[in-house]
Amino acid sequence: MRSSLIDSHGRAISYLRVSVTDRCDMRCVYCMAEDMEFLPRADVLDFAEMERLCASFIRRGVTRIRLTGGEPLVRRDIDTLVRSLGRWLRPKGSSTPGLDELTLTTNGSQLRQHAKALYEAGVRRVNVSLDTLDPERFATVTRRGRLHQTLDGVQAALDSGIAVRINTVAMAGVNDREFDQLIGWCGEIGADLCLIETMPMGDTGEDRRSQYLPLVDIRRDLATRWTLEPLTVRTGGPARYVRVAETGKKLGFITPLSHNFCESCNRVRLSCTGRLYTCLGQEDGADLRAVLRGGGSDDQIAATIDDALSHKPKGHDFMIGRRGGEVSGPVRHMSVTGG
């Protein structure tokens, strides 16, 4: 077995995000264009290929996998993949290679149909993307989503014993007056909330510059109405948390633009085409599908991963000028990378 996954800056890689599809039943304005051209089926990894690549990462120290999309739950027979990966979950405290957590990010529209199967496979926590509690605004932001389906999915997950974190992209002029309502609602249903700065990825037909809200300002404003207690808890991702004393639930902030978190990055991303991205904000990486379909051995897969990690950048290059300045980021859409 090769040594653990360490990049050229000495950061240990323990977290793999796997996009299982580029397809989605919504077209959120910060994620996709209205008219998307999705990948041919032949370009997308089958489940056996995904499992083999995931196993390669797990054997070398990845302890946490998050399934993403597009929307992961629109992939046909997705429960089969979740069950297979769930077999890697290991008892708490075990030193054998395995997963401490298997989770996913979803828009919630298909969550009611899958919640029970997810729990039975070992999923104990999911992130649900939800940017507004207003039905009309929800339809506008998602371009085709129905709020009641997502809310129904959230409740189904909670009823199944799966903890929920609501992910909300903060957008000026869109949902910037809803954060108090979202905090209160999450407290009522027993979910955590995480606010996320909009990221300039791909052309979605929207001006992300005009929508950008630095979360340092939002946090300062929220602190005038809510008691925000600092926490040191981490879930393995980039969020920094406080506890809202009035609700008892956690409130997270993901700030790739106003205060990046690259110095502690422990993540890589595997696209549904087998492209390994070592940074969300860069176009670097490696084509693992080519190695797989070229008959490559496990050692060749490992060597390709190691070479990609040797070029993992120290930090991303996201940038949004606040007053008509430059916007920069990868040309690929968020849905291609898997978030």
The Cα 195–Cα 167 span in angstroms is 6
Task: Please check if 24 is assigned to a binding site.
Answer: yes
pLDDT, position 317:
54
Beta strands in 141-298 (DSSP E): 163-170, 192-197, 228-230, 240-244, 250-254, 267-270, 275-277, 286-287
Cα 90 → chain centroid: 22
What confidence score (pLDDT) does residue 314 get?
75
**Is 277 assigned a ligand-binding role in the annotation?**
no
Domains and their CATH numbers in the chain? 15-337 (3.20.20.70)
| pLDDT, one tens digit for every residue, the chain (339 residues) | 566 899 988 999 999 999 999 999 999 988 888 878 899 999 999 999 999 999 999 999 999 999 999 999 999 999 999 999 999 999 999 999 999 999 999 999 999 999 999 999 999 999 999 999 999 999 999 999 999 999 999 999 999 999 999 999 999 999 999 999 999 999 999 999 999 998 765 554 555 567 789 999 999 999 999 999 999 877 667 889 999 999 999 999 998 776 666 677 889 999 999 999 998 767 778 999 999 999 999 999 999 999 999 988 876 554 444 444 444 445 545 555 665
CA distances to 168, 171, 288 from 183, in Å:
11, 16, 41
Q: What pLDDT was estimated at residue 31? A: 85
Residue 41 marked in a binding site: no
Write down the pLDDT at residue 336: 58
What CA–CA distance (Å, rounded) separates 258 from 320? 10
Is 54 annotated to bind ligand?
no
194 labelled as ligand-binding? no
pLDDT at 338: 60
Please tell me whether 272 is known to bind a ligand. Answer: no
Say what the pTM is: 0.89
Q: Is 199 annotated as a binding residue?
A: yes
Q: Taken in order 145, 146, 147, 148, is the CA torsion positive or negative?
A: negative
pLDDT of residue 279: 87
Establish whether 186 is an annotated binding residue: no
DSSP 105-139: EE-STTHHHHHHHHHHHT--EEEEE---S-HHHHH
51 to 26, 33, 70, 144, 146: CA distances (angstroms): 27, 30, 18, 32, 32
Is 267 annotated for ligand binding? yes
Token pair recorded at residue 254: 């993901």
Task: Give the 3-state secondary structure of residue 103.
Answer: strand
- Whether the bond between 205 and the residue before it is cis, its omega within 30 degrees of 0, is no
Whether 171 has a binding-site annotation, put simply, is: no
